[in-house]
Amino acid sequence: MGFLFTGVWSVPTISDMTDGEWNPGDEYGLALIPGPESGITGSTNGGFHMAIAAASQHKAEACEFIAWATSPEVMAVATKDHIPTRVSAQETEFFQNYVGDNDATRLSLEQSVFGAPPVSTVVELPEIADLVLRQYNRAAIGEVSAEDALTELDQEITDLLSRR
Q: How far apart are CA 64 and CA 59, in angstroms?
A: 9
In a domain, 134, yes or no: yes
Q: Determine contact, residues 78/90, Cβ cutoff 8 Å.
A: no
Residue 129 lies in a domain: yes
Poorest-confidence range of 12-21, 28-37, 46-55?
28-37
Range of the domain at 164: 122-164
Whole-number Cα distances in Å, 134 to 1, 25, 77, 107, 131? 16, 28, 32, 28, 5
Residue at 130 is within a domain: yes
Tell me whether residue 161 is in a domain.
Answer: yes
Q: How many domains does the chain have?
A: 1
Percent with pLDDT over 70 in the chain: 78
Q: What is the pTM of this model?
A: 0.50
The string of DSSP codes covering 86-120 is SHHHHTSHHHHHHHTT-HHHHHHHHHHTT-S-SS-
Q: Quote the pLDDT of residue 32.
A: 73
Instruction: Let me know the angle formed at the C-alpha of 44 by 146 and 39, rounded to the nearest 5 degrees.
Output: 90
35 in Cβ contact with 41 (< 8 Å): yes
Residue 89 belongs to some domain of the structure: no
Identify which of 8, 25, 6 has the alpha carbon closest to the alpha carbon of residue 110. Answer: 8
pLDDT of residue 3: 67
Burial code (b: 16+ CB inside 10 Å, e: under 16) for 48-83 equals eeeeeeeeeeeeeeeeeeeeeeeebebbbeebeebb
Q: pLDDT tens across 104-152, in order?
A: 777 777 777 765 555 556 788 888 988 998 898 888 888 999 999 999 9
Is 113 domain-assigned?
A: no
